[in-house]
Amino acid sequence: MHTIEQTIMLDKAYPIRKGNISNSAVNIENDLEMYIFCCGKALSLLTTSIDKSEQAILNLRFTENITDYSSKYTHADHIEFAIENFFIRSHGIYDRALLFASQLLDTGIDKESINHQVIVTNVHVKKYGISDKLKKLRKICTEYRVERNQIVHHGRYAEESFDRISLIHKANDLQNTISNKVIFDSNELEQITSAFIDVQVEKFEEHLDAIKVEINEFYSLSEQVYLLKKATL
């Protein structure tokens, strides 16, 4: 955990601290409280997106421990879901970083209008050097943009070796449903499947680690900017 989370989320002026657990309304009394609240909310979305990417990797790693497969979902279906989830979640980290940067610099840009070009060319974002950090982060986060776009625009993850594994799983499950027998040896199939998972997990962990390196650099500068901006309100 980076110190920026404590600096913002535990800020004594954070307006959510004035409320109580039974009241969802947040009473914001001035510009300072509004700034802290908006930064905290955006930061929470960003950190959550990183956590969800980690969770997607864990889901992939432990798909083989799911023993209650229904007739509708095969082991390969669970693997495909976890992989797709990772591609979408890891790519989405950058979108959340743009939103946080916009709130941090109080750009006033509408959430629906936020994109890479709008934020990195904003005069306030460039002034504090945040744009350079965002450009580096974008390069890492979009490494799997082709795979992510394939899922979003064409409906599913597709990769030759996995497609073969998936078809074998489906054929085995179908045959087992009909006759309580399988076409392909189950132990051998699970070994091949496990090897595929290991490769993907290693790749995804390396990718997420690289993202975290850039995120920490982004956080370190953002924390300084936050304290500067807060002092002017």
User: How far is C-alpha 110 from the chain's CA centre?
Assistant: 22
In contact, 63 and 78? CB cutoff 8 Å: yes
Give pLDDT tens digits along the chain (233 positions). Answer: 799 999 999 988 888 777 665 666 677 889 999 999 999 999 999 999 999 999 999 999 998 776 555 557 788 888 889 999 999 999 999 999 999 999 999 999 998 999 999 999 999 999 999 999 999 999 999 998 878 777 876 667 767 788 788 888 787 777 766 676 666 567 788 888 889 999 999 999 999 999 999 999 999 999 999 999 999 98
Maximum Cα–Cα distance across the chain:
74
Please give the model's pTM, rounded to 2 decimal places: 0.87
User: Sign of the C-alpha dihedral, residues 106, 107, 108, 110?
Assistant: negative
Domain count for the chain: 1
Residues 159, 85: Cα–Cα separation, whole Å: 15
> Which DSSP letter does residue 184 get?
S
Query: Cβ of 131: how many Cβ atoms within 10 Å?
Result: 19
Which single residue is written with the structure tokens 């189950």?
186
pLDDT at position 53 is: 96
- Report which of 41, 16, 17, 8 is spatially closest to residue 229, judged by C-alpha positions: 8
State which residues form the domain around 23: 3-231
pLDDT at position 203 is: 93
pLDDT at position 164 is: 83
pLDDT at position 170 is: 80
pLDDT at position 198 is: 93
